[in-house]
Structure 1
Amino acid sequence: MKETITTPRAPKAVGPYAQAIRHGSTLYLSGQLAMNPETGLFERSSVAQQTRRCMENIKAVLEAAGASMENLLNCTVFLSSMDHFGAFNDVYASYFPHNPPARITVASAGIFDGLDVEIAAVAGLD
């Protein structure tokens, strides 16, 4: 059975999608942008800041589902340019001191509102 996961600690869905869907023991997280859920504003001063905000949003959704960053199986990362990879990767790596998830990282010409980072994820809940 499909269950919708929501939390006020991550940005609200602004379209026909959910923050996350649990199906069995798998949690599918929608792409997270660098929106601060408290202010509703994008944090865009740097790629590092955008990455940190995306990761904190992911962490909040995971926690709402009773999970943690340790449960992540895969992340799909979209960068506006691969020139941002170093700054992104430094922050991203800090969230996974041990056993990081699998990852796909691609350059995308169309991240929402001219942002530089978007991250979607899949987690296992067993």
Structure 2
Amino acid sequence: MKLIHTEFAPAAIGPYSQGYVVNGLLFTSGQLGLDPATGAMAGEDIVSQSEQVMKNLCALLAAAGSDPSRVVKATCFLSDMGNFAAFNEVYGKYFTEKPARSCVAVKTLPKDGLVEVEIIAEA
């Protein structure tokens, strides 16, 4: 196993790591819309937070020597399914290869985030 860590994605806010590469696959922890420089949410709306989530994931992909075209699975969590269309607009700009995906609504997310995404990718 190879630990993945980059200062270009938020530090863990609990007892977990940003990600691991195992047998050529990158597994990331869920990424919120946290700005890695400040630790604060990138904005209060779904578009701002979704953009930051994708930037954070791209930073983890780069740290593992990968990129968005190599994502095979995404799991997406929304605090309100009413944000589904706006989230999809942002998501679609980054994951143009259309990886397998699940997207569910959850009651709450850490730091009252609106969106969290975790991925599995070829490293």
State TM-score, norm by structure 2. 0.96
Counterpart of 2:81 in structure 1 is 82
Shift of 1:14: 2.3
Distance in 2 (alpha carbons) for counterparts of 1:72 and 1:58:
10
Q: What CA RMSD, in Å, does the superposition of the two structures yield over aligned residues?
A: 0.9
- Structure 1 unaligned residues grouped into runs of 5+: none
Distance in 2 (alpha carbons) for counterparts of 1:45 and 1:115:
8
Counterpart of 1:122 in structure 2 is 120
Written as runs of structure 1 = structure 2, the 5 A alignment for 1:1-126 is: 2-97=1-96, 99-125=97-123
Aligned amino acid, residue 33 of structure 2: A
Percent sequence identity is 37
- Give the secondary structure class of the aligned counterpart of 1:42: coil
Distance in 2 (alpha carbons) for counterparts of 1:81 and 1:45:
13
Could you list the structure 1 runs, at least 4 aligned residues long, displaced by more than 3 angstroms after superposition. Answer: none
Distance in 2 (alpha carbons) for counterparts of 1:31 and 1:74:
13
Shift of 1:71: 1.1
- Structure 2 unaligned residues grouped into runs of 5+: none
- Give the secondary structure class of the aligned counterpart of 1:87: helix
State TM-score, norm by structure 1. 0.93
Aligned amino acid, residue 40 of structure 1: G
Aligned amino acid, residue 117 of structure 1: V
Distance in 2 (alpha carbons) for counterparts of 1:96 and 1:60:
14
Q: How many residues align?
A: 123
Aligned amino acid, residue 25 of structure 2: T
